[in-house]
Amino acid sequence: MKVDITSARVHVSVRFTREGSVLAQTIRAGAEGIETRLEVESPDEPGTVAGVVRNAENGCYVMQALASPTPVATSVALNGAELDLTAYPPPTRD
């Protein structure tokens, strides 16, 4: 697709959340939502520009990973050996 885009500006707003305690090892971070606004200047037809924007959004790995449930697998190594975090539960507070 050839589109003449003379200027583009994007504004991103994220509403972050967090709950729990770092000291209690119960911290949970998240986001309630992400909003983007793209401002484009182009002499081309709106339909052509819409196609480029659609392709950019659909082809954006980050946007698609955030918009759809994405499995995340993690592992931890300590001094070269696997560390099973479940073997070391958070401390209890008396």
Question: In order of start, what are the domains of the chain with their CATH numbers?
Answer: 7-87 (3.30.300.20)
Question: Which pTM value belongs to this model?
Answer: 0.73
Q: Provide φ and ψ at 51, rounded to 5°.
A: -65, -40
To the nearest whole number, what is the mean pLDDT of the chain?
A: 95
pLDDT in tens, 42-60: 999 999 999 999 999 999 9
DSSP string, 52-67: HHHHHHHT-HHHHHHH
The two three-digit tokens of residue 4, written as one number: 């003449």
Question: Is residue 85 within 8 Å of residue 76, measured between CB atoms?
Answer: yes
What are the respective helix, strand and coil percentages of the chain, to the nearest 5? 25, 35, 45
Q: Is the pLDDT of residue 94 over 90?
A: no
